[in-house]
Structure 1
């Protein structure tokens, strides 16, 4: 059986259309898997024995051969039927068919008679069952065959179905009529499906994500690039080297484009960060149409900020197509069309590689100005060009430009520029201060594992020697890494030393950053942080582009989020979004992540999905670490998408964060995984994930329960598993942590979430009055704070309470209220979950007193077992996992002192009396 990943929905749509008598054309770029889909459709048709199948594949080499495709189709028809029809036809048709349609001359008469012959064969063949024509790459089918096939299928509608594939409808020759076919796109694979495909081939999640980005989601290209991983390691941020075979394919694919498309792509390849507006300014009037054509061919992907070549190495393939003289002339043309001095100087420098002191100084000044304006990529490239064009007498300036290029490129994660500069810096006589600046820039790059960063900072501390300012900067970087490892006490110690040195130095901007990091460390350890952060905000000046996510104002907004001052957080992050949209990708993604988190908590579910999609595009464009983007997407999936996708991304994120030593994101992914599993019915899996978060926090001395917020879900998971004493222990720990934190404010929201969890624990213990009291409190606080989804979750728990009281109507009314709330918020997975409870396949009601000893869920499962249902059947009816059913049965046996489902069935279904 052919395995095709990520196409089940598309295949289902194709089969539905075929069953309805519709024919289909699948449109997608080369390598998108159109042919593999045809194989699956063929296998399915033969397995179902509902249609005979004829298949033909077009090829560029055969498009001029008369009747080439028809020859293949006739060879697959029943020989006796074909012989009978041909024998009754004109002699020249018999001769042509007997010759295998080889060497025949195409004439109107022959074409007409062959069309009648093929029609007669299909008409008689389809008397018993329909025929399905599978036509691959119809743009390369010869015109004669297309005419014959078209004649027959148009006259046998409902009896002859067609599934055709094509790279683009616009590329199909006019002789091939596919206008009446239902068009379906075969899009590139999304990240979840690509991870499924590539991780099965042995790639780690982060490398698989890198290949996904480089391939543009095209399966065949991704698999070819994945084959390189065993030979050459894939470095994050560095274009994956192409094997010669793929390079030739890309060259041919580029060469096959029309002249105007190739010219537009060449312009794009020479621009720093190509956009449609820049191309139009450079004189490419039809650039929009050209780029659409290139995207259909899988050559480019429109990015959030700029156009992206797929793979990125294709850009060099395009550039290498033209000679040096042509490139030089085009750079001069682009310089005349440039809108900023920096862009103009870039093109002039690339047009003339000779050393030039004046040009080098101009490039250095333009680089500094571009960096000040927020264009870090252009600034870093201009610093590099300044160093490249510097003559020998500018040796000192050259080293400074290289160091500045590294410092400028690193926060934007422009790894290729950093590596180009590093290659020269490592061979240059840098000062200790320059060496420290270079080493401090390395941790700003995505994809560096913690052990490597520790080595870099150890060397930086040695270079800093007795320079207190440099030592303080190294200590602050160490503190940030300790926070990434969820070691707030270690971060606190490093920050205190750094702040003491900075106080003596008198640099307010650096002191503000040190105080900000210290405030985070203090908060995470449960200490008072407010005065520290207030002073940081007062001291801080304008935030440099690329460092917003470490600034006092950013952290002030993060603390507002932790404290559930959600309107303040939302407004502040929206303001930041406008600030970072043209800046470094790292800042951009950080702000989008914050917006997704606030949106998820406040019930802005559509906006959560929109901002998560933008974060994905930015992350791919700037080659940021994969697992950070997966967390953002998984958060959005939890509230507005699909729980299974959220769990898949979280699992991959756990793997990748573990490999990187990024404990902070490991915790985040584990929390999402726990939530997704709990809501999917896998309470044991949820408990395992959330217990790992608990262990990390204990090991690191993490003392702030408002940050990760795993406590309530762990209590709920343990209660669902019947581990009530453990649930009570976790609840007590959480309450104590909240009480310690309450003196500093911001604990109302997390307290409401713990109240809801406590109500679920009390329900499991049968304390209905106690559950009602804490639910009332949870409902009021959640509404007051603005936790809209938590308001809905409280309603769901209240419905369970009403059901335990046998108030069926009240339970249903409350569930309906929860459903309406979730639907209004566009919280799709929550609404679907509640709808499943509103419309369950109910077991017969009974007054058996034994059921009084069970929870509502346990009673329903017990009744289903008594009715003879298997664990799988019960799981499917109740929308839970089989593991959850098994765990629930274990609790039932313990409560009723039973050992098997047979005893349970006997107990609940007494023998009938005659």
Structure 2
């Protein structure tokens, strides 16, 4: 079994090339794992009886003639060396030391090495492995090249090629294979195998740019979440030294381009070229091969991000100031020109401080929060003593600006300085309320921060209301609607008294959400908030009335309205705070997945992951979004993996809201892959959370129908019926629940089919399909067609069953619902002809009858599981029920009952 994570496809490609007689050159960044691939290939071929010769180049040894050849010849058996000419054998046995590299000696050694490999390859397969060929000494490189070209097809060569002075190394005749950085899922698997939690592993993936060696080095050095009141965990000295040396070892033009990139706010190829680096694109490509930067969309990303400060600190102060002056002259905006000017002139300056403050305000209004936060900090740094009041305000605003974008380093810089000032109560409250906007802050920290903020607020009703509003929002994030409603109601009362409409709109919105979750009247609160029509600052769009109006439309299955609303909001967050951006993208993915906009859902999910990685947001947020898209239009197994990881991470962080979201997806994925028992456990956890927290709105999580389906598959029909009745009673008299009722109808149809009430099943299934079509729940419409196929099959209408399944297949294909397409295709192509109808099957449910037919045709439990899309455990449990119903004790007896005996 391969010891390399995430490289199975690449290894298979290399092995196929070697089997065809080709040799291979592995290209990729430093630390990407090329040597590990050589290890894996070597181990695999040695097990098969092949022999391997391996050597590697080193920068310090490139000037030593015959160094690599010496290593290779040392691995050759003595009997092959003994057959060499005396003078050559003597050189080899002496270790090829102290030789003058003459043309005659090169020729003799090339012939000798060729002869050795030729003789050895006559008896067994020979694998020649060359690591870092760019650093092989020239003499060895020429001799090895001579042999490999003449033994093509008989001696397999795999070489790794990295950056270095030997970039022009001759690898002609070797098939190039690119070894790319590991994708996120594989990197998380690798780091989890080393004992890291999945969310920490994902953070390290982002920092490392997918480079395994760097990720493993960072694994023990980075904390899961930077300190809110201190500095992020620093790099260990050893790794910092390695990165500095790797940077300093680059060619002069690459180093110069990276220096410019380290000083620019958001460096891009275009900006670096404008700044006087015309070869920036090529320089960055070479830096990428050295593992110093990773590919990004537009902006240059240092790997790890802390390398940026290492590069900047390596520039002498006077030279750094001069570079900033040059960059100020070509900066694309007035704000960035001011930034470079301030960094070049560190002394206090009243006019400059005021200009920086104004530029920061304009940048924040334009959505450039990171730049705005840095400008506020620079304004505070450049403020002389007489601007002490302005300095405190700039620091407070810097923290407020940085938090929603999750700009941790800027927030910590501002917070450290702010804590040394004497702020007003309002400023103290504002700063404390900004902390909860930082992604990854846990409930314990937030409770402490909000308690302190309430003390700072004193008797100021507006400040008290602001703290209460933040408490309400945090309570909603923790799925505590009762506490949220209580806090929001008090806040709204205070804000109505003081006439603060901006905050009142937020308070009414929070109150509407909490009351809806509790099953209480809520619509007029949200309507009041919308009517106030107050502007929403960038970074807080997800708390706004317009956002929640679109969210309620989604809950009510008004999918076109929700889609239009979130698309309109997306335009406002494209350059705003990261979490705001992700919130809107998440909603678009959720709406798209329900409406059957699978291709768009996948695109939005990919954008959400990129934004989350750029802003360092908690990984389980992105995993939910991706799992939602995969569940509808992607890979079912990946959806299950991400949902499981996300549930574990959310539970670890105390994020109850996202825990529920992940459990819904996990339950659906497990149900669809045949693990009805696992689905039941996941969905029951949501039910328990809702009961504990008093959540009574069935439109929020939507677990009921899938739990009924799981119970039916498990044969727990009475329990399924009880749950169905309970869910129906919750819907009575409640608006906006037609879609939920349609999903329950589909689940009820499955229950009725299992009980043998086929006319009743048809009635509720017709109702489900009509509502799904009317409201645009096209994925659910396809699911109704699948159940229709099961119903017709139970009626022994083979043609009608196939027609229903084909209709479902065509619908899912048109929606690009890849995972559903595969699932229905498996039902359409079971691979065996059904057993003839038998009266005994009337005693069984549809699922039980299908398993019984498969048994009668001689299928094993595992084969049945694969054909019926269930787990082996589910097959075993189903067989137990079949034996009990038909009064048989074994599969042999069952097959005998169902397979007609030949006539005598």
TM-score band, normalised by shorter chain: over 0.9
1:158 is matched with which residue: 153, 159, 180? 153
CA distance in 2 between counterparts of 1:57 and 1:879 reads: 49
Aligned to 1:452: 445
Aligned to 1:81: 80
Question: Is 1:148 matched up with 2:147?
Answer: no
Residues 112 and 568 of structure 1, relative CA distance in 2, 3 Å threshold: farther
CA distance in 2 between counterparts of 1:186 and 1:901 reads: 50
SS in 2 for 1:741: coil
Residues 446 and 167 of structure 1, relative CA distance in 2, 3 Å threshold: same
- Pairing 1:649-798 to 2, within 5 Å after superposition: 649-742=642-735, 746-798=736-788
Number of residues of Structure 1 aligned to a counterpart in Structure 2: 903
CA distance in 1 between counterparts of 2:763 and 2:2 reads: 57
Report the CA distance between 1:397 and its aligned residue: 1.6
Report the CA distance between 1:671 and its aligned residue: 0.7
Residues 233 and 576 of structure 1, relative CA distance in 2, 3 Å threshold: closer
The answer to which of 689-698 and 757-766 deviates more is: 757-766
Report the CA distance between 1:484 and its aligned residue: 0.9
- Pairing 1:878-897 to 2, within 5 Å after superposition: 878-897=868-887
Report the CA distance between 1:775 and its aligned residue: 2.1
Residues 894 and 192 of structure 1, relative CA distance in 2, 3 Å threshold: farther
Report the CA distance between 1:669 and its aligned residue: 0.6
Residues 175 and 34 of structure 1, relative CA distance in 2, 3 Å threshold: closer
- Assess if the C-alpha contact under 8 Å between 2:672 and 2:869 holds in 1: no
Aligned to 2:109: 114
1:553 is matched with which residue: 546, 555, 576? 546
CA distance in 1 between counterparts of 2:263 and 2:834 reads: 72
Report the CA distance between 1:244 and its aligned residue: 1.8
TM-score for both structures, normalised by structure 1: 0.94
The answer to which of 904-913 and 667-676 deviates more is: 904-913
Report the CA distance between 1:850 and its aligned residue: 3.1
CA distance in 1 between counterparts of 2:175 and 2:741 reads: 54
SS in 2 for 1:55: strand
CA distance in 2 between counterparts of 1:173 and 1:434 reads: 57
1:442 is matched with which residue: 418, 421, 435? 435
- Assess if the C-alpha contact under 8 Å between 2:335 and 2:360 holds in 1: yes
CA distance in 2 between counterparts of 1:868 and 1:896 reads: 18
Question: Is 1:97 matched up with 2:102?
Answer: no
Question: Is 1:378 matched up with 2:371?
Answer: yes
Report the CA distance between 1:550 and its aligned residue: 0.9
CA distance in 2 between counterparts of 1:276 and 1:345 reads: 21
CA distance in 2 between counterparts of 1:600 and 1:697 reads: 24
List per-residue Cα deviations over 1:329-350 (Å, max 9, x = no partner). Answer: 0111111112322212211211
Aligned to 2:191: 198
CA distance in 2 between counterparts of 1:40 and 1:369 reads: 55
TM-score for both structures, normalised by structure 2: 0.95
1:272 is matched with which residue: 259, 262, 265? 265
CA distance in 2 between counterparts of 1:160 and 1:808 reads: 58
Aligned to 2:29: 29
- Assess if the C-alpha contact under 8 Å between 2:225 and 2:440 holds in 1: no
Residues 830 and 26 of structure 1, relative CA distance in 2, 3 Å threshold: farther
- Pairing 1:150-299 to 2, within 5 Å after superposition: 150-167=145-162, 173-178=167-172, 180-228=173-221, 235=227, 239-299=232-292
1:568 is matched with which residue: 540, 552, 561? 561
Unaligned runs of 5+ in 1: none
Provide the aligned C-alpha RMSD in A.
Answer: 2.5
Question: Is 1:530 matched up with 2:526?
Answer: no
- Assess if the C-alpha contact under 8 Å between 1:513 and 1:550 holds in 2: yes
SS in 2 for 1:573: helix
Aligned to 1:41: 41
Report the CA distance between 1:24 and its aligned residue: 2.5
Question: Is 1:390 matched up with 2:367?
Answer: no
Question: Is 1:824 matched up with 2:817?
Answer: no
List per-residue Cα deviations over 1:7-42 (Å, max 9, x = no partner). Answer: 222222222332333332222222222111211111
CA distance in 2 between counterparts of 1:491 and 1:732 reads: 29
List per-residue Cα deviations over 1:385-412 (Å, max 9, x = no partner). Answer: 1211222222222111111111111111
SS in 1 for 2:732: helix
Question: Is 1:319 matched up with 2:324?
Answer: no
CA distance in 2 between counterparts of 1:888 and 1:134 reads: 53
SS in 1 for 2:751: helix
SS in 2 for 1:486: coil
Report the CA distance between 1:868 and its aligned residue: 6.0
- Assess if the C-alpha contact under 8 Å between 1:239 and 1:312 holds in 2: no
- Pairing 1:898-909 to 2, within 5 Å after superposition: 898=888, 901=891, 904=894
CA distance in 2 between counterparts of 1:258 and 1:117 reads: 37
Question: Is 1:804 matched up with 2:794?
Answer: yes
Aligned to 2:3: 3
The answer to which of 503-512 and 568-577 deviates more is: 568-577
The answer to which of 446-455 and 827-836 deviates more is: 827-836
**Runs of 4+ residues over 6 Å off in structure 1:** 909-914
The answer to which of 196-205 and 393-402 deviates more is: 196-205
SS in 2 for 1:65: coil
Unaligned runs of 5+ in 2: none
- Assess if the C-alpha contact under 8 Å between 2:231 and 2:412 holds in 1: no
- Assess if the C-alpha contact under 8 Å between 2:25 and 2:171 holds in 1: no
Report the CA distance between 1:847 and its aligned residue: 4.4
